Amino acid sequence: MKTDMKRALSRRGMLVHSAQVLAALSLCQGCAPFTGNQARAPRGFKIGICDWTLGKATNPESLVLARKLGLDGVQVDFGSPQEGKLPLNHPDLRERFRKTSREQSVAISSLGMCTLNSYPLKSDPRAEGWLSDAIATCAAMGVRVILVPFFGDGDLRGDTKGTDAVVAKLKNLAPKARKAGVVLGFESWLSAPQHMDILRRVGSPALQVYYDLGNSHKCGYDIFKEIRYLGKHICEFHAKDYDGLYGKGSIDFPKVRQAMDDIGYRGWILMEGTEMPLGLEESCRYDLAYLRGVFPQVL
């Protein structure tokens, strides 16, 4: 079995710390297989990475590095405001991303608005306009999901007034997003029931939850119950483990896979690394090899 796995990794260009990678993949063999008819369910998971994790935020070179690492795609950040506008909203930059994506055969999985952690949607008067422009950019780039985060200055825990303001602004923006075929992925420190309360108040299928495994686990939430609770309201996942390389830290990824099977999730899982003990590229290769064993591309 180890020889077969080693050959598979070799075919994918994963000859990095082979003994460690093989050990990680061996750990994955116990995860529950997909129970559907494989011939009728050819689609599996796609694994990408956040461009800020690669140290190349809002930089088309992130796609070049992603191809080198063997990833399927990149989550691209809009960047910090410059002269009152987010860089990715400039047509020339987004066209560079699209061109590089085609050349490298690496997808732009989704877009992210990390700047909202410093210029919060709940309080900064410019943020709603930026997000409105982001919806148009997302549609123009042929991308489906925008990550809308609520961390840092945008944290909503215990902030009733801020939450009310966010709900009001998302109600304004949701019709535009829905018409454009764009999903706003709400990511925060809140629990699954708190997320669902906000989704119900906004009342639009254009607002869904962007579920971060590491953040929710760090908050003490039962991530497996939360995934099942949120179900079809999850648009994408961040794979993150604050305690080590994937499979060596505190996140039980095979159990995550079981929960995803239960809700029928197949789609993007974006690596957002926090631990890089082997260096950036080698840690990413290790984590990717581990995830491929749990979340295969074809089922």
pLDDT in tens, 165-192: 999 999 999 999 999 999 999 999 999 9
Q: What is the pLDDT of residue 195?
A: 98
Please say whether the beta carbons of 294 and 28 come within 8 A: yes
Parallel, antiparallel, or unpaired: how do β-strands 73-77 and 268-271 relate? unpaired
pLDDT at 11 over 80: no
Q: What is the pLDDT of residue 43?
A: 74
Across 32-36, 129-133, 156-160, least confident range:
32-36
pLDDT (tens digit per residue) in 24-62: 333 333 333 333 333 343 379 999 999 999 999 999 999
DSSP 204: -
Distance, C-alpha 63 to centroid of its chain: 15
Angle, vertex CA 220, rays to CA 201 and CA 204, nearest 5 = 15
pTM of the model: 0.86
The rounded distance, in Å, linking the Cα atoms of 192 and 55 is 30
Q: What is the band of 20 on the pLDDT scale with cuts at 50, 70, 90?
A: very low
* Rg, C-alpha atoms of the chain: 19
Query: Given its phi and psi angles, is residue 17 left (phi above 0), alpha (psi -120 to 50 degrees) or beta?
Result: left
Number of Cβ atoms within 10 Å of the Cβ of 126: 14
- Across the range 196-212, mean pLDDT stands at 98
Q: What is the band of 111 on the pLDDT scale with cuts at 50, 70, 90?
A: very high
Torsion of CA 240, 246, 249, 255, to 10 degrees: 80
pLDDT at 13 over 50: no
Q: What values do phi and psi take at 75, rounded to 5?
A: -90, 120
- DSSP conformation letters of 78-109: --S-BTTB-GGGSHHHHHHHHHHHHHHT-EEE
pLDDT (tens digit per residue) in 246-290: 999 999 999 999 999 999 999 999 999 878 999 999 999 999 999
Q: What is the band of 6 on the pLDDT scale with cuts at 50, 70, 90?
A: very low
pLDDT at 224 over 80: yes
pLDDT at 8 over 50: no
Buried b (16+ CB within 10 A) or exposed e, 85-111: ebbbbeeebbeebbebbeebebbbbbb
Q: What is the pLDDT of residue 203?
A: 98
- The closest of 237, 232, 193, 234 to 215, measured between CA atoms, is 237
Token pair, residue 10, equals 């070799």
**Crossing angle of helices 160-180/127-140, nearest 10°?**
30
pLDDT at 194 over 80: yes
Task: Give the fold, CATH level 3, of 45-294.
Answer: TIM Barrel (3.20.20)
Q: What is the pLDDT of residue 16?
A: 39
Number of Cβ atoms within 10 Å of the Cβ of 125: 7
- The closest of 243, 245, 248 to 276, measured between CA atoms, is 245
Across 18-22, 48-52, 74-78, 167-171, least confident range:
18-22
Q: What is the band of 73 on the pLDDT scale with cuts at 50, 70, 90?
A: very high
